[in-house]
Amino acid sequence: MVKRISALVLAGALTLSLAACGGNNDKAAPSNEGGSKSSGEKKVVKILHWKQENINKAMEEINADFEKKYPEYKVEYTTTGPDDEYKQAQRARITANDVDVLADLSGMRLSPQDWTPGAKTPDWQQWIDSGLIADLSGQELVKNWNANDIEKAGTYNGKVYAVPTGKVAMSGLFYNKQIFEDNGLKVPTTWSEFLKLCEDLKAKGITPIGVAGKDVWPLKLPVFALQAKILGGGDQQKWIEGVWKGETAFNDAEAVEVLDKMKTIQDNYMIDGFMGIDYASAPAIFATGKVAMLADGSWDAPTIATANPDLKFGYFPVPATEDAAKNASFVGKYDVTWYVAEKGPNKEGGLKWLEFFSQPENYTKFVKAAGFIPTQDNISTDSEFIDNELTPYLGDFELAYEIMMINRENVGEHLAAEGVHTEYLAPGGQFKTAKELADVQQKEWEAAAPR
Amino acid sequence: MKNSKSFTVLSYAVIALLLVLYVVPLILVLNVSIKSYPEYLMNPIGLVKEIQWSNYATAWTEGNFANYFLNSVIYTGVATVLTIIVSVMGAFPVARGYVKWAGFIYLFFLLSQFLPNPMVAQYKLMLSMRESLDMFGYDTKLGYIILKTSGTGVVFMMFVGYIKSISRELDEAAGMDGSGYLRYLFQMILPLMKPVIATGVILTAIGIWNDFVGPIMYLPSKVNYPITFGLKEFKGQYGNNWPLLACGITIVAAPLIVLYTFIQKYLVDGALAGAVKS
Amino acid sequence: MYPFGKGFARYIPFLLLLIPMGLYLVFYFGPSVMTVIYSFTDVKNIPGSSMKFVGLENYYDLFYSGNSGERWRSIINTLIFMFIVTIVQNGVALFIAVLINQRLRGDYFYRAVFFLPVVLGVAVVALIWSMMFDPMSGPVNMLYEWLFGYKDMFFASFTHAFGYIIFVQIWMYMGYSMLIFLAGLQSVPKDLYEAGYIDGTNKWQSFRHITFPLIAPSFTVNMLLSIIGAMSTFDIILATTDGRFNTRTMAYDVYKETFRGSLEMGLPSALSVVQFLIILVFVVVAVRQTRKREVEY
């Protein structure tokens, strides 16, 4: 209250002094077309993002540079907890028209298709349809980005609404090179090699795999590999369309194979009590050598490197089948994707910020810290991890199941959030076999069919 | 009255058992809060060997507690005082029947305890208030304070119960002396209500100080964050750095514990009022 | 009757009463009524979106769609939560209150300690118990291993998480119930007991026939508070499991669907209404039962 009054007084004083100066500094006087309330104050650009330390740091630097270059702006960078908490904040802010630039957890996805009658419309699409998101098509900044990536992850109804800032691989396992070397092990390329590797590790008293089961979603990551390579004989899209048309099913042989393979891993090779490990402590468990491998997304590489700078580690795709060639590619998604709010307090400032962010030199800073695969051309990340560990498997970068699977509305919890939820198969979960879970899933899918 | 010996011994035994259940977690937090992180990793539950007071300083700065602390003091202080005042304004005339349909009003206010969850509409209301009034409503300190101010909750009910136990003759005597209603209410009645007010203060303050759900919805800007958000800063960043988190826990809990120790001797009297009349 | 003047002065109490009344109407009662109305519409959490009446569709969606099984489980969880919390919390609290009331040495201290968790608040209590129940480095698991050679997943266990949440809820609010019972017990005149002793009643009999009827009002208050509290609690779930591992209750679902589900607000509104009806039934039953008791003796 007091603050607000004093801010008003201050604003008033500034306007007066500006008026007194007359017309000699036209440039400094803000044009105020962005609808920002303040006339003499700096114009605030509100950016909403989630907590992820390595990225947050880079963002703060970029924001500081932005303020330096455009002194008339001030960036208010808010971060919340990740996942659901972020989703809630995102929604609250956009509903209140209280944000200018906001991140989404992935590129545009899950838009209903003609073969998905009664599918639910994702938030981003409802926002665009309600005129809450700024149309970026025609903006100079769009040209900085790879046209294909923009098309895939930022375009809706022929217009560009979002900028995906990088790709990440999700379907891999980090592995401790030292442990592999000491025990004469090499990166597996087929499912049976993979099982053999895990057995060998176990025989030597080394826990094969760690995962943050308490957060549940990290369990999805290895499953993405299995789904991409097994469902539809390696054509997920076909399988997903099939499930809508009744040609494939959640309890058909392929889907059960996916669940069954993940169950094998969970039952035999995961660290004891993995369902009790939370996501934030997983990198440390891997970095301190408690496990030989870690199921995690490639975005966590910088965090692992921070947890133990001396650790030598690599990343390979979970080999889902016996076909080595088919296994040798990652499945992933577009990560942090920026939208500019149409009705925010300062749309013009938001666009200005995004334009600044899109400059190759600023973007390079960001993408280096984030550990993403760049979505601008000709960006050199100087990252050994990306060059040596990711690039060899990027031949045909496929999107993960959760990005492609369009869900029915009000679908049951065993299929909710575009996953197949193998946590229910974990030791302690209520399903003893993969088939049992698969049958329940198929039943829930049918029950959610539109009336 | 006589007590059999064995019963007394049994009583002490039961109480002792429960005390362990209540005190051990708190001691654990204090113990962990002064361990260094490496020591914690080596020995998470053993007694601390090298005391690290500096943890508190680190937690204070890294958790951004300075700003949040001030915010929470404002929210808790102002909303608690307002709640007490507003509750007295409602409780006195209802308890005395100085307004028409006092019984009905009491029931109507009692209804506040189990109305359908108003979250959805409340949120929309706060948003529209922000749009039309600007300094009031969604994402404003004032809006949150007013939302947290209530004259119809448990405090109101306790006040009604307590006021009924204050003699009516006092009103009449004061009225004869020509005292005004407002002056009588705040100069005579309020001081007589000390125990129940103390209870009301602690209960209201607990609710506001520790609220972490309301601020997620209504205070999205960093400048408005309350103290409970300091705890969240650790969660994302440090995973299981329990020593710092334990410091955070202590920092958040300490002010209310201090308030509580001042007020606790009144608590039973206050609760008595709540129980006398339901 | 009204001693503070006539004419305009007669209206001062009413005018002052308008303040709490106004706050209540604007911020609680009004929104509650709106929520009931919303439950029959397709209102969305998007500014400027239109709204139309859809009849009972939201209610139909609640109970006849792909995830209605979970709705029922949430309801069952809510009832389990309510029954166990109400019975255990009040049972323990009453027992402790009776013990403390016989003037044990240090009674002030015990009282203060048992009430402390209420002061700490949910965010802090949830963290304290997350620490105690940490599956990797928490003391409780070490105790379990030492005693039974068994390790638990606590808040990450499909079978046990809900039980641990109930435990924490009771741990947190037992002191509150205890305090109300203590207050009730202290209003029981001491000479009543003396009379009882002369008649040669034992402790249980004197409790059952003398004490209990007299503290029945505090019993009613406690029943109501714990029923309503247990039915509408979700913050403890949010702060421990976030609804994972079969720990969802109706109140949690309302929060989740309102802020983290879809942008449709009709469904959570309908859920709120159903929750309200269930609370209403139990409150009415509880009040009738306890009132009967008060009169009977």
Task: Evaluate whether residue C4 is within a structural domain.
Answer: no
Tokens of B193: 């209500």
For C178-241, the DSSP string reads HHHHHHHHHTS-THHHHHHHHTT--HHHHIIIIIHHHHHHHHHHHHHHHHHHHHH--HHHHHHT
pLDDT band at C151 (very low <50, low <70, confident <90, very high): confident
pLDDT of residue A104: 94
Locate tokens 């989630």: which residue?
A50
Interface of C with B in 15-54 (CB under 8 A): 16-17, 19-21, 23-24, 26-32, 34-36, 38, 45, 47
Check pLDDT > 90 for residue A383: no
The two three-digit tokens of residue A77, written as one number: 């960078």
**Which pLDDT score, from 0 to 100, does residue C293 have?**
64
Mean pLDDT confidence for A174-184: 95
C49 inside domain: no
| Domains present along chain A, CATH in parentheses | 31-168+334-388 (3.40.190.10), 171-329+407-447 (3.40.190.10)
The nearest CA of chain C is from the CA of A189 a distance in Å of: 33
- Total of domains in chain C: 1
Name every chain C residue with its beta carbon within 8 A of the beta carbon of A213.
156
Q: Is C158–A276 a contact, with Cβ atoms under 8 angstroms apart?
A: no
Tokens of A100: 């200018």
Q: Are C179 and C186 in contact (CB under 8 A)?
A: no
Alpha helices in A27-72 (DSSP H): 53-69
**Quick one: average pLDDT of A429-440?**
92
- Asked whether the CA dihedral C52, C57, C59, C65 is positive or negative, the reply is negative
A277 touches chain C (CB under 8 A): yes
CATH code of the domain containing C116: 1.10.3720.10
- Residues 387-426 on A with a CB inside 8 Å of C are 408-413, 416, 424
Q: What residue of C is the nearest CA neighbor of B227? A: C123
What is the per-residue pLDDT for A177?
96
CA atoms within 13 A on the CB side of A188: 22
Q: Which domain holds residue C259?
A: 68-296
Burial class of residue B172, CB neighbours in 10 A (0-12, 13-18, 19+): middle
User: Are A415 and A250 spatial neighbours (Cβ–Cβ below 8 Å)?
Assistant: yes
Angstrom distances, CA of residue A403 to CA of A52, A236, A320, B99, C264: 21, 11, 19, 62, 22
pTM, whole model, 2 decimals? Answer: 0.89
Mutate to test the interface with B, among C14, C16, C90 (most CBs of B within 10 A): C16
Segment B220-238, tens digit of pLDDT: 888 899 999 888 777 654 4
CATH superfamily of B65-276: MetI-like (1.10.3720.10)
Task: Record the tokens describing residue A176, joined without a space.
Answer: 């401790």
Of residues B120 and C84, the one with the higher pLDDT is C84
Quote the pLDDT of residue C45.
84
- DSSP assignment of C87-142 equals IIIHHHHHHHHHHHHTT-TTHHHHHHHHHHHHHH-HHHHHHHHHHHT-TTT-HHHH
Closest C-alpha to C260, from B131, A117, A80, B277: A80
Percent of chain C at pLDDT exceeding 90:
42
Whether residue C27 lies inside any domain: the answer is no
Cα radius of gyration (chain A)? 24
Q: Are B116 and C32 an interchain contact pair (Cβ–Cβ within 8 Å)? A: yes
Inter-residue contact A215 to A346 (CB < 8 Å): no
Let me know if residue C288 belongs to a domain. Answer: yes
To the nearest whole Å, the CA of A40 is away from the closest chain C CA by 29
Considering only A21-25, B42-46, B206-210, C39-43, which range has the smallest mean pLDDT? A21-25
> What's the pLDDT band for A40 if we cut at 50, 70, 90?
low
**Residue A26 pLDDT > 90, yes or no?**
no
Residue A375 in this model has a pLDDT that exceeds 70 = yes
Q: Please give the interface size between A and C, counted as residue pairs whose CB atoms are below 8 Å apart.
A: 86
Please indicate if any CB of chain A lies within 8 Å of the CB of B221: yes
Q: Which residue of A has its CA nearest to B137?
A: A96
CB B272 within 8 A of CB B159: no
Which of C29, C235, C255 has the CB atom closest to B115's CB atom?
Answer: C29
Torsion of CA C128, C133, C136, C138, to 10 degrees: 60
In this complex, do C100 and B15 lie within 8 Å of one another by their Cβ atoms? Answer: yes
Q: Mark residue A139 as left, alpha or beta (left: phi above 0; alpha: psi -120 to 50; beta: remaining).
A: beta
Residues A156-169 pLDDT 10s: 999 999 999 999 99
Position A15 scores a pLDDT of 36
In a domain? residue C255: yes
Which residues in chain A have their CB less than 8 angstroms from residue C47's CB? 95-97, 130, 132, 343
pLDDT in tens, A118-132: 888 899 999 999 999
How many inter-chain contacts (B to C, CB under 8 Å) are there? 299
Mean of pLDDT values over C100-126: 88
Q: Give the chain C residue whose CA is nearest to the CA of A412.
A: C67
Cβ-Cβ contacts under 8 Å for B240 (sequence gap 6 or more) = A278, A280, A281, A284, C134, C136, C137
Top residue of B131, B212, B240 to mutate, by most chain A CBs within 10 Å, is B240
Cα B48 to chain center, whole Å? 32
Per-residue tens of pLDDT for chain B, all 278 residues: 445 677 788 888 889 999 999 999 999 999 999 998 888 878 888 888 888 899 999 889 888 898 899 999 999 999 999 999 999 999 999 998 888 888 899 989 888 887 888 888 888 888 888 888 777 888 889 999 999 998 788 889 888 888 888 888 888 888 888 888 888 988 889 998 888 898 889 889 999 999 988 888 888 888 899 999 888 777 654 456 788 889 999 999 999 999 998 888 787 766 666 554 43
pLDDT level of residue A255 (50, 70, 90 thresholds): very high
DSSP per-residue string spanning C235-268: HHHHHHTTTTTT---HHHHHHHHHHTS-SB-HHH
From chain A, the residues in CB contact with C271 under 8 A are none
* pLDDT at residue number A11: 40
Residue C157 lies in a domain: yes
Domain for residue C60, yes or no?
A: no
Which span out of A186-190, A304-308, B161-165 was modeled with the highest average pLDDT?
A186-190
Chain A residues touching residue C55 (CB < 8 angstroms): none
Query: Mean pLDDT over all residues of chain C?
Result: 86
C287, closest residue in chain B (CA to CA): B278
Question: Which helix (H) or strand (E) element contains residue B62?
Answer: helix B54-62
Q: What angle do CA A301, A307, A310 make, to 5 degrees?
A: 85
- Rounded alpha-carbon distances, angstroms, from residue B262 to A231, B195, B258, B272, C213: 66, 12, 7, 19, 33
